[in-house]
Amino acid sequence: MHRWLPLIFVGCSSPAAPIQIPAPVHVTTPAVTKPAIISTCEPAPDPKAITRPSRRPPRAPSMYGDGLMYRETPVNHATCQPARSTLDASTAAILAEPSTGRGSHSTPWDRRREPAGWTRVAQRLGLGKAHRAMLDANGFVVAAGTTFWNYVEAYHEVFESQLPIFVSVDSVMHAIFESHASIARDLEQKVLWPRVDHVLSAIGCWLPTGARDWPADVTHDLALYIAVARALLSDKPSADPEAAKLIAQIKEAKGLREIELFGRPRFVDFSAFEPRGYYRTDGMEPYFRAMMWLSRTDFNLVSRSSRSSTMAPDPRETPHEVALALALVDAAKGADVLDEIGQIDDAWSALAGQRQDISLATLDALRAKGGTLASAIGDGYRRTIPTEPHPDGETDLPVIAAMFGPRILADSEALAPRRPRVHPRPRSREGSPRAGAREVRQPRGEARRCARGPRGA
């Protein structure tokens, strides 16, 4: 953690380049009368001076005493009590032992002999004849009422009671997951949240003067995009009715709906904005919702078989969204935060997997090639997993862009069928466990796998 974090976040943004308005993309934008919803500019906070305190609820005691997580040292120096200091001491002693180089071997139980340690286990956990009969029949037994807060506490209880031990694969995976979740939670809460706040504030402050010569509808829609993100991240109401309506739907988190956004109707799965996991328990709901908005609200660049966020095939192009995506790049460059967005994106990729959409930095590089954006993209940037509502059976997915983009895990891509489904029914309430993540819904009878995106939001 301490070795790779500086590589992600240390560095200076390059000097602001001359602003390139989306006009070079050869987009003709119709005149509109909608006013641009640019909120009052507030000074951008210093991300290094902001921390988000954890708001973890107190844990109730388990059947073997209080939980392990929040006790640093034993009570009254009880060296056998589960606590961080005694576990660290035990770990150090184990690692200090010389390795014998020999593995352990055991003879499988034939279900006829007395299981090794049965008398001791039955006495300690209160197992009776019914449990033994189930063990003989199935080869295992689940003892109701014997529960622990986590695997560490359970293994410590086994150690204290001198019971035979079985280390299962799921307990090892749980340890890996918890370690990753702890790293991700701290990074998102203490580093990424303040940096995203700084990025949005800087762009919001730049728009009133930097976008004054843009087409009115481009200015309006980009200001709406930023205003919704800022209101979600700060968890404060928006004075703009259009933004307030979107925020209300996001916080309600009630399934798949068709809305008008960025000049066209599109389907949005609002259930994906429902905080889950540690985002719900650590006071990170605002961060989760904001990052979901910044990763799932995409800009359709090339439609191919169908434009994004539709339920029926619609291959028409969306030049307004192309102009809007390029305007976001210009706003980030004008506010001198394009490099910072890239640093946040790199950290999120390390935590939650790669993205298949086009980042703002890549979009800027494609535009520098000259000509239209579609010609610069050509046949490249193929996606394998639909991360937004998409017509069933259409596999030539559109090219999209977002500020941070949803993340795709390796198992999602490897195990997805040839024609993956996303939200075949509007009543779906499925969502991903991580901000920016996407669960791929498969045809009936096939396995489902998740793609992740902060511990997010």
Burial label, 398 (beta-carbon count in 10 A; 0-12, 13-18, 19+)? buried
**Strand duo 438-440 + 449-451: pairing:** antiparallel
DSSP, collapsed to helix, strand or coil, labels residue 405 as: coil
Tokens of residue 428, six digits: 């779906």
Q: Each residue of 339-359: pLDDT tens digit?
A: 999 999 999 888 888 888 999
Asked whether the beta carbons of 311 and 391 are under 8 A apart, the reply is yes
Q: What is the CB neighbour count within 10 angstroms for residue 146?
A: 14
- Which residues are CB-contacts of 294 (< 8 A; sequence separation ≥ 6)? 196, 229, 402, 403, 404
How far, in Å, are 345, 379, 398 from residue 303 at the CA level? 24, 12, 5
What angle separates helix 285-296 from helix 193-210, to the nearest 10 degrees? Answer: 50
DSSP 8-state secondary structure symbol assigned to residue 209 = H
DSSP, collapsed to helix, strand or coil, labels residue 44 as: coil
HSE of 268, CA atoms in CB hemisphere, 13 A: 23
Distance CA 428, CA 450 (A): 15
Q: Along the 457 residues of the chain, how does pLDDT read in single tens digits?
A: 333 333 333 233 333 333 343 333 333 333 434 544 445 566 555 655 555 444 444 444 443 344 444 456 666 666 566 667 777 777 788 888 887 766 666 777 777 788 878 888 888 888 888 888 888 888 888 877 677 777 877 888 888 788 887 788 888 888 888 888 888 888 999 999 999 999 999 999 999 999 999 999 999 999 999 999 999 999 999 989 999 999 999 999 999 999 999 999 999 999 999 998 888 877 899 999 999 999 999 999 999 999 999 999 999 999 999 999 999 999 999 999 999 999 999 998 888 888 889 999 999 999 999 889 999 999 999 998 888 888 988 889 999 999 998 887 655 444 444 433 333 333 333 333 456 554 333 333 333 223 333 433 3
Give the helix/strand (H/E) hosting 95: helix 84-96
Count, residues in the chain: 457
Distance CA 452, CA 210 (A): 35
